[in-house]
Amino acid sequence: MNVKGVIERGMRNSWGVILELAVVMVPAIILVGVLEAAGIMPRLAVLLEPVMSWFGLPGEAAIALVVGFLVGPYGSVGLAVGLRLSPAEMTILGTMVLIAHSLITETAIAARAGANGLIVLGARLAAALLAGVLLGQLL
């Protein structure tokens, strides 16, 4: 095995991922900071608390969940860091978002490759909610 080549290619690929992450995460963290300072976040939290409590997550985490579902895990991680979620909450949010993320793009890719997009989308969302309810009970 060409160890040097492996390390070189690994490093090169990492740079792309880290850059992509930074571009999404930094604005997401700033957004949370601004929403908190402006007093919008606490109101949002109270509003969404009843739904999010099924998953053992605080109300504010709803934006990290929805952004994860629709846009992608990077934005979701950024928001979660900004919200200072606990390790248990990171585990719950992460499991749900990794099961169902970037649903717009990824469902389009699946449909393009020949799948029934509606089944893929519905089953992924259902699976994420199931994981959330399970972990909400356990953690």
Does 137 bind another protein (CB under 8 A)? Our answer is no
Q: Which of residues 5-44 bind another protein (CB under 8 A)?
A: 5-7, 9-11, 13-14, 17-18, 21-22, 25-26, 29-30, 32-34, 36-38
Other CB atoms within a 10 A radius of the CB of residue 50 amount to 9
Identity of the amino acid at 100: A
CA distances from 35 to 38, 73, 90, 101 (A): 5, 20, 20, 23
Contacts of 53 (CB under 8 A, 6+ apart): 136
Nearer to another protein, 67 or 77 (CB): 77
Return the DSSP state at 19. H
Q: Give the one residue of 40, 46, 51, 130 binding another protein; rule: CB under 8 A.
A: 130
Does 116 bind another protein (CB under 8 A)? Our answer is yes
Torsional sign, CA 24, 105, 70, 125: negative
Judged by the rule CB under 8 A, the positions of this chain that interact with another protein are 1-2, 5-7, 9-11, 13-14, 17-18, 21-22, 25-26, 29-30, 32-34, 36-38, 73-74, 77-78, 80-82, 85-88, 90-91, 93-95, 97-100, 106-107, 109-110, 112-116, 119-120, 123-124, 126-127, 130-131, 134-135
